[in-house]
Amino acid sequence: MTMETLPKALEVDEKSPEAKDLLPSQTASSLCISSRSESVWTTTPRSNWEIYRKPIVIMSVGGAILLFGVVITCLAYTLNLGEKSVSILKMVGPAFLSLGLMMLVCGLVWVPIIKKKQKQRQKSNFLRSLKSFFLTR
């Protein structure tokens, strides 16, 4: 069965607008266009903030949680509180430390991955333009 001949069950009633969104794509090019992920074929230039926004937010939140964990851990060992409060602070402090450090490292690792992806995209755009240049002649 080809993509051009759809079975009768897939035909959509004109009354339901939601069903129009669920139609299968007719061609491979429309598959690429309707893809929700970033594809190689998108050529819209993006600013550095749009590219690095998520890693920066993750690093900022991770740094804040790490700092909060340091403060709580220091308070647990310096303040003279009740034994129950100190034991709770000694459990919660290192938990925030580890969570914050994990988020900070994830953001730091994400940046080189994005840079490598950008270089690959630039190479791909160059090769695509070179290919189209030679094929159109």
Closest CA to 111 of 62, 59, 43, 60: 59
- Tokens linked to 45: 């230039």
* Extents of the domains making up the chain: 49-112
What backbone phi and psi angles, to 5 degrees, belong to 96? -65, -35
Q: C-alpha angle 75/76/78, rounded to 5°?
A: 60
Per-residue pLDDT of the chain (137 residues; tens, 9 = 90+): 455 555 554 444 445 555 555 555 555 544 444 444 555 555 577 888 888 899 999 999 999 999 999 999 998 888 888 888 888 988 999 999 999 999 999 999 999 999 999 888 888 877 777 777 777 76
CB atoms within 10 A of CB 73: 18
Query: CA torsion sign, 35 to 38 to 39 to 42?
Result: positive
